Amino acid sequence: MFPLQRPRRLRKNEVIREMLRETRLVPSDFIYPLFVVEGKGVRKDISSMPGCYQESVDETVKNVKEAFSLGIRSVILFGIPDVKDEKGSGAYDGNGIVQRAIRAIKDSVPDMYVITDVCLCEYTSHGHCGVVEHGEVLNDPTVELLVREALSHAKAGADMVAPSDMMDGRVGAIREALDEEGHSNIPVMSYAAKYASAFYGPFREAAESTPQFGDRRSYQMDPPNRREAIREVALDIEEGADIVMVKPALAYLDIISDIKGAFDLPVAAYNVSGEYSMVKAAGRLGWIDEERVMMESLVSIKRAGADLILTYFAKDAAKVLNR
Ligand code: PBG
* CA 148 – CA 141 distance, rounded (Å): 11
Residue 60: CB within 6 Å of ligand 1? no
- DSSP assignments along 97-128, one per residue: HHHHHHHHHHHH-TTSEEEEEE-STTTBTT--
* CA 124 – CA 202 distance, rounded (Å): 18
Residue 275: CB within 6 Å of ligand 1? no
Residue 117: CB within 6 Å of ligand 1? yes
Range in 176-185, 203-212, 221-230 the model is least confident about: 203-212
Question: What dihedral do alpha carbons 203, 205, 209, 212 form, nearest 10°?
Answer: 130
* CA 159 – CA 189 distance, rounded (Å): 11
Choice among 194, 280, 302, 315 that is catalytic:
194
The CA 241 to ligand 1 mean position distance, Å, reads 19
Rounded to two decimals, the pTM is 0.97
Query: For the chain, how far is it from start to end, CA to CA, in angstroms?
Result: 41
64 contacts 43 by C-beta, under 8 angstroms:
no
- DSSP assignments along 54-102, one per residue: EEEHHHHHHHHHHHHHTT--EEEEEEE-S--BTT-GGGG-TTSHHHHHH
Q: H helices of the chain, where?
A: 14-19, 57-69, 97-108, 139-156, 170-180, 201-206, 227-238, 253-262, 273-284, 290-304, 314-322
Output the average pLDDT for the chain.
Answer: 97
Q: For residue 44, what are the β-bridge partners? A: 54
pLDDT of 2 reads 79
pLDDT tens, 253-280?
999 999 999 999 999 999 999 999 999 9
* CA 41 – CA 65 distance, rounded (Å): 16
5 contacts 23 by C-beta, under 8 angstroms:
no
Q: Which atom of ligand 1 is nearest to the CA of 211?
A: 10
Strand 53-56, strand 43-45: pairing: antiparallel
The CA 119 to ligand 1 mean position distance, Å, reads 9
- What structural domains and CATH numbers belong to the chain? 25-321 (3.20.20.70)
Q: Is the pLDDT of residue 74 over 90?
A: yes
276 contacts 202 by C-beta, under 8 angstroms:
yes
Residue 34: CB within 6 Å of ligand 1? no
pLDDT tens, 12-54?
999 999 999 999 999 999 999 999 999 999 999 999 999 999 9
Q: Is the pLDDT of residue 220 over 90?
A: yes
Q: Is the pLDDT of residue 1 over 80?
A: no
Tell me the angle at which helices 290-304 and 314-322 cross, rounded to the nearest 10 degrees: 100
> In sequence order, what are the residues at sequence separation of 6 or more whose Cβ sits closer than 8 angstroms to the Cβ of residue 101?
34, 36, 57, 60, 77, 79
- Residue 194 is among the residues annotated as catalytic for this protein: yes
